[in-house]
Amino acid sequence: MDLQTRKISFVQEFLNLQNEEIISLFEKLLRKETKKISTKRLEPMTLEEFNKRIDLSIEDSEKDRLTESNKLLSEIEKWS
């Protein structure tokens, strides 16, 4: 079952719930897990990760794997 199907199935089951305690538990769980994900995204890189990213960037530059800023901005404008 793909993710979209699972989400739809979950929402359908959730909408049929009549127990306020269970709904409260889901609300708390959602807030807790969302906060964990947000916090994880903000964790700083280790020095090793940082240096590896720099090395990869230098390699990309040397192999001409670059995107000009004007092309990137043009692409971003298409997103909305």
Domain ranges across the chain? 1-43, 45-80
Distance CA 27, CA 47 (A): 37
pTM value? 0.45
Instruction: Please check the confidence at residue 6 and state whether its pLDDT lies above 90.
Output: yes
pLDDT level of residue 43 (50, 70, 90 thresholds): confident
